[in-house]
């Protein structure tokens, strides 16, 4: 079974802090994704990566950056957390071939106070 | 912007009935269509995918795709209380946006015992 893990289930940070969210997958997937999920807005793509050291902006990259130094690990960084970044963050991974589904991690509920 | 529209619900059906969930999408070039189930507080899990026009059945689930009408649906037969969840429709056009998925906001389903 594909396993995607995220470093924390719940996280509380203060405004202005630098926040790191880690995601690890064990299926040798090339693609990795970071989403945020908010009520009424659904899943929105922040960043994705097709390969090590490669990244692409999604629909809402502002205020975020990412790092992919190893194939299995994809990190989301909030450079200076703000209250409007309070959300559920979901990591996903997939093979690059057309038609392959994305597998999701358990999510991190981030609260910025 | 590629739109994926779902009726947010809530949709309530009695146990044993057929639940019908609908999704429309704006990108006519979309090629892959996925249905995810998300229980409250949990991450999305894939339940069905479909690539070709017509019906695809998997147990109690049937996905229906009509590319001409840009419409994909999910039927759940013999609905069970354990089917109560939010169902997310996801669409992919690999030729245009690679492995990026576009998600609807989800339809909340409640199966009443």
- pLDDT score, position A25: 95
pLDDT at residue A102 greater than cutoff 90: no
In angstroms, the Cα distances linking B25 to A83, B64, B75, B90 are 32, 14, 18, 9
B92 vs B109: which has the higher pLDDT = B109
Q: List pLDDT tens digits, range B77-91.
A: 999 999 999 999 999
Distance CA A12, CA A63 (A): 17
Q: A–B: how many Cβ contacts below 8 A?
A: 54
Task: Name the DSSP letter for residue A55.
Answer: -
Distance CA A8, CA A57 (A): 23
The alpha-carbon radius of gyration of chain A (Å, integer) is 13
pLDDT band at residue A2 under the 50/70/90 scheme? low
Say whether A5 sits in a helix, a strand or coil: strand
Whether the CA torsion A90, B1, A99, B23 is positive or negative: it is positive
pLDDT at residue B104 greater than cutoff 70: yes
Element (H, E) at A48: strand A42-49
Tokens found for residue B64: 């229906």
The answer to whether residue A108 neighbours chain B at the CB level (below 8 Å) is no
Which residues of chain A neighbour B1 with C-beta distances below 8 Å?
59
Cα atoms in the 13 Å half-sphere on the side-chain side of A34: 29
Distance CA A78, CA A110 (A): 11
Q: List pLDDT tens digits, range B7-59.
A: 878 999 999 999 999 999 999 989 899 999 999 989 999 999 999 999 999 99
pLDDT band at residue B100 under the 50/70/90 scheme? confident
Across the interface, whether the CB atoms of B46 and A99 are under 8 A apart is answered: no
Q: Which of residues 47-66 of A touch B (CB under 8 A)?
A: 48, 50, 58-59
- pLDDT score, position B2: 76
Q: List pLDDT tens digits, range A60-73.
A: 999 999 999 999 99
- pLDDT score, position B62: 97
Task: Name the DSSP letter for residue A101.
Answer: P
Q: Give the nearest partner residue to A107 out of B43, B46, B105, using CB atoms.
A: B43
Across the interface, whether the CB atoms of B44 and A104 are under 8 A apart is answered: yes
Distance CA A27, CA B69 (A): 36
Across the interface, whether the CB atoms of A50 and B99 are under 8 A apart is answered: yes
Mean pLDDT of chain A: 93
- pLDDT score, position B98: 72
């Amino acid at each position: 079974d594909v396993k995607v893990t995220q470093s924390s289930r719940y996280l509380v940070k203060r405004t202005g802090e630098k926040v790191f969210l880690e995601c690890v997958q064990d299926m040798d997937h090339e693609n990795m994704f970071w989403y945020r999920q908010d009520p009424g807005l659904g899943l929105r793509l922040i960043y994705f990566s097709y390969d090590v050291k490669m990244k692409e902006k999604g629909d809402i990259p502002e205020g975020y950056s990412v790092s992919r130094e190893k194939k299995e690990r994809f990190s989301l960084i909030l450079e200076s957390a703000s209250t409007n970044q309070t959300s559920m963050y979901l990591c996903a991974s997939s093979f690059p071939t057309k038609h392959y589904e994305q597998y999701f991690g358990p999510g991190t509920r981030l609260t910025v106070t | 912007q590629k739109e994926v529209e779902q009726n947010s619900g809530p949709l309530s059906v009695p146990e044993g009935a057929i639940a019908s969930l609908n999704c429309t999408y704006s990108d006519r070039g979309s090629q892959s269509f996925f249905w995810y189930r998300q229980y409250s507080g949990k991450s999305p899990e894939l339940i069905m995918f479909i690539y070709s026009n017509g019906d695809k059945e998997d147990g109690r689930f049937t996905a229906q795709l009509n590319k001409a009408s840009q419409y994909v649906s999910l039927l759940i037969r013999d609905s069970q209380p354990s089917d109560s969840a939010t169902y997310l429709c996801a669409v992919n056009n690999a030729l245009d946006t690679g492995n990026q998925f576009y998600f609807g906001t989800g339809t909340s389903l409640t199966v009443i015992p």
